[in-house]
Structure 1
Amino acid sequence: MAGHPGASTLLAAALLAAAGGSFAQEPPYKAEILDLKATILDLKGFPSDTGAGVSDLTARVDGLAARHEGLSVRQDKNAVTVSMLGDVLFDFDKAAIRPAAEPTLQDIASLIKSGSGGKVVIEGHTDSKGSASYNKDLSLRRAKAVAQWLASHGVDPSRLSTKGLGDTQPVQPNKLANGADNPQGRAQNRRVEFVLPKKQ
């Protein structure tokens, strides 16, 4: 009989040790959860840390073009250029911004404000209808109207410059090879372009 109390004492000790062992697992387990939470917070902070990066700028511009009709994107070594169709921005032969264009401009304003610096050039372009001097003046008035809109919606005016290039830089032929008018080509040439520097 004397051996039985010893056995039950050993059993109780073993159970206590097992229970104690499971309790002992809790603090490291909780520490791992805390570490995981810290990692999640670090990851959440990651995009803002690299907001001025070239790949991030490209991704944000591509996302912008996917969300809005009338936008296209091209890039070279130094800049990403967002092109916005003039027919989306303006009524025919006018330089007043259409209300329907404002959501797109709001997103472009956010894109510019989220960059860490660098001057954004706003270029106005026209088709070849009308005289070269008239087109240059119209394209400049349109670029200035866009810059003024952006400045009134929180973009630092010192980060904006404007150019009126008229019909000197078409992206499509204004006329077909046979000399006939090319309305689709002219529509592509009527545009405002936002040239965002990659090195901000």
Structure 2
Amino acid sequence: MAGAITSILALILSAAAAGSAFAQAPPAHRDIRDLKATVLDVKGFSSDLNSNVSDLSAKASGLAARHDGLSVRADKAAVRVSMLGDVLFDFDKASIRSSAEPTLDDILRLAASVPSGTIVIEGHTDSKGSAAYNKTLSFRRANAVADWLASHGMKKARLSVKGLGDSRPVAPNTLANGADNPDGRALNRRVEFVLPNDAKRAK
């Protein structure tokens, strides 16, 4: 009997020692788990930022799919909605065509969905005419669009207007052989709506 009791006690002590050793091991494992949790949290934060970028970009892309003359470019800082000048204005004019208003109305709704920050309206022209004239025309056009947005509910304090003339083409104004490129010039005549995409501020 005494031998049996001794054996049982030995087993209990052995189990306790193993349990103690096992109990001492988890901190390292906990550190690893904590690190994994931190990495996952950071990844989640990054995912949230990308989600906000994607959400606004997706809305803008949906808008472009519904309206002729719109295109979209996006990065982490902003979503740019570009509207062709030939859709917005008559030749060499800065008065908005009535036919462009349904598109502007949808752009207004998109801009209003951005919770804060400045919305920049940029006017662009092709390279025909002098640089000074083009800069003036591009500003007048951008300003006309900003006035339209403000008159339809957008707070003017949130709008900033730039006339960039022909300084930022998105297509060649001339072909490689020096000939005129009407299609390229048409793409350069545009107004761009620069919507801030600061996810941290939006939160």
CA shift for structure 1 position 77: 2.4
Whole-Å Cα distance in 2 between the matches of residues 105 and 86 of structure 1?
A: 12
Q: How many residues align?
A: 150
Identity of aligned residues (%): 72
Tell me whether 171-180 or 52-61 shows the greater mean CA deviation. Answer: 52-61
1:158 aligns with 2:149: no
TM-score after normalising by structure 2: 0.72
What's 1:129 paired with? 128
Look up the SS of the partner of 2:145 in the other structure: helix
After TM superposition, the runs of 4+ consecutive aligned structure 1 residues lying more than 6 A away are none
Look up the SS of the partner of 1:94 in the other structure: coil
What's 2:93 paired with? 94
CA shift for structure 1 position 53: 2.8
Look up the SS of the partner of 2:195 in the other structure: strand
**Unaligned runs of at least 5 residues, structure 2:** 1-50
Whole-Å Cα distance in 2 between the matches of residues 54 and 77 of structure 1?
A: 6
Whole-Å Cα distance in 1 between the matches of residues 54 and 174 of structure 2?
A: 37
CA shift for structure 1 position 58: 1.4
1:139 aligns with 2:138: yes
In the TM superposition, 1:16-165 aligns within 5 A as: 53-165=52-164
**Unaligned runs of at least 5 residues, structure 1:** 1-51
Structural RMSD (CA): 1.4
What's 1:18 paired with? none
Deviations 1:19-67 (A, max 9, x none): xxxxxxxxxxxxxxxxxxxxxxxxxxxxxxxxx9322211111111111
Whole-Å Cα distance in 1 between the matches of residues 111 and 105 of structure 2?
A: 10
Look up the SS of the partner of 1:195 in the other structure: strand
Whole-Å Cα distance in 1 between the matches of residues 116 and 190 of structure 2?
A: 24
TM-score after normalising by structure 1: 0.73
What's 1:170 paired with? 169
1:197 aligns with 2:175: no
